[in-house]
Amino acid sequence: MREFGVINTNYWNWIVKHKLSDKATILGAFLLTYEHCNSLGCFRCPPAYVAEDLQYPIETVLKGYQELFEKGFLCYCEQSKVVFLPKYLKWNPIMNANHGKGTLKIAKALPVYFTFYDKLVESLEKYSGEKMPVKNLKACISCLKQRGSDTVSKRYRNKDKDTDKDTDKDNILLQFPLKDKTLYPITEEYHQQLKEFFPSVDIKIQLNKMNAWLDSNPSKRKTKKGIKKFITTWLSKEYDKTKAGDKSGHVDSGKYDIINIDEG
């Protein structure tokens, strides 16, 4: 864990060029100087952690991640919860041999299911800098390419071995009624993801409340395209309430009339 981080002056030129919003600008600066950021610009950083540190609503952080992704500043792997900053090495190149060795260790420690190995290799090849020994650079790139290959291979094997977990009946916790009278499955994987995003919220209780609310309000049910926005908006409100010290867990269903958005 580092005690300080550097923001290259080119970052400010970059945000002006790409017309970033104020929140996304602060979020980008936060990620560049985050205590768990490393010499690859590739580190675990779930949005819920950022929301807690910056005291932002989780919805603001998720929108910021999306904006930074669209501008090419950030890649976020939902499965491993790892953030990768493609321009990090451009603004913070490897400075010496020891720095290069440390970078190799970081590469070897990345999760197998990280989904952006190809972009990481591309960034390293392009921006590693002249001060990183060729030996370390080749070893690091070779390691990343192998891990990327292993990731693809494992996914392929799992696809052949298992049925799609999203439709596995044993993996479904709830099914939300939708506007078109079909059901939207809430899987255990999605439940775990929501727990990462909203750590202070009892997700199962809130999912059951959402299900009951949708069942009782058929005219306000969501489309398949809009259901996830409904879920995250509901949970964002609960998350903000827990931060404000409201431990009652009471949800006034009337408050959620604002979620009556037809996104599909």
The predicted-structure confidence for 48-92, as pLDDT tens digits, reads as follows: 889 889 999 888 998 999 999 999 999 998 878 899 999 998 998
Q: Are residues 143 and 175 in the same domain?
A: no
Q: Are residues 121 and 173 in the same domain?
A: no
In angstroms, the CA 243 to CA 229 distance is: 21
Q: Looking at the 3D structure of the chain, how many domains does it have?
A: 2
Q: Are residues 88 and 49 in the same domain?
A: yes
The two structure tokens encoding residue 145: 């390419």
Model pLDDT, residue 23 = 94
Stretch 175-198: mean pLDDT: 88
Which DSSP symbol is given to 77?
Answer: E
Question: What domain range is 245 assigned to?
Answer: 166-256
Confidence of residue 150 (pLDDT cuts 50, 70, 90): low
Q: Are residues 112 and 193 in the same domain?
A: no
Model pLDDT, residue 262 = 46
Q: Which residue has the higher pLDDT, 244 or 53?
A: 53
Model pLDDT, residue 86 = 92
Model pLDDT, residue 258 = 40
Report the range of poorest mean pLDDT among 6-20, 28-42, 98-112, 142-156.
142-156
Is residue 73 within 8 A of residue 28, CB to CB? The reply is: yes
Q: Are residues 118 and 171 in the same domain?
A: no
In angstroms, the CA 253 to CA 257 distance is: 8
Evaluate whether residue 262 is within a structural domain. no
Residue 198 has pLDDT above 90, yes or no: no
Q: Please say which residue of 132, 159, 186 terminates a domain.
A: 159
Model pLDDT, residue 147 = 63
Nearest to 201 by CA among 61, 58, 64: 58
Evaluate whether residue 72 is within a structural domain. yes
Q: Please say which residue of 107, 129, 159 terminates a domain.
A: 159
Q: Please say which residue of 159, 189, 212 terminates a domain.
A: 159
Stretch 97-101: mean pLDDT: 76
The runs of H, that is alpha helices, within the chain are 10-18, 22-33, 47-54, 58-70, 88-91, 97-109, 117-127, 134-161, 188-197, 203-216, 227-243
Is residue 126 within 8 A of residue 145, CB to CB? The reply is: no
Evaluate whether residue 264 is within a structural domain. no
Q: Are residues 89 and 189 in the same domain?
A: no
Q: Are residues 138 and 176 in the same domain?
A: no
Secondary structure (3-state) at 61: helix
Is residue 107 within 8 A of residue 116, CB to CB? The reply is: no
In angstroms, the CA 233 to CA 202 distance is: 15
Residue 124 has pLDDT above 90, yes or no: no
Evaluate whether residue 263 is within a structural domain. no
- Please count the CA atoms within 13 angstroms of the CA of 171 that sit on its side-chain side: 13
Secondary structure (3-state) at 82: strand
Evaluate whether residue 187 is within a structural domain. yes
Model pLDDT, residue 173 = 86
Structure pTM? 0.58
Report the range of poorest mean pLDDT among 123-127, 133-137, 142-146, 185-189.
133-137
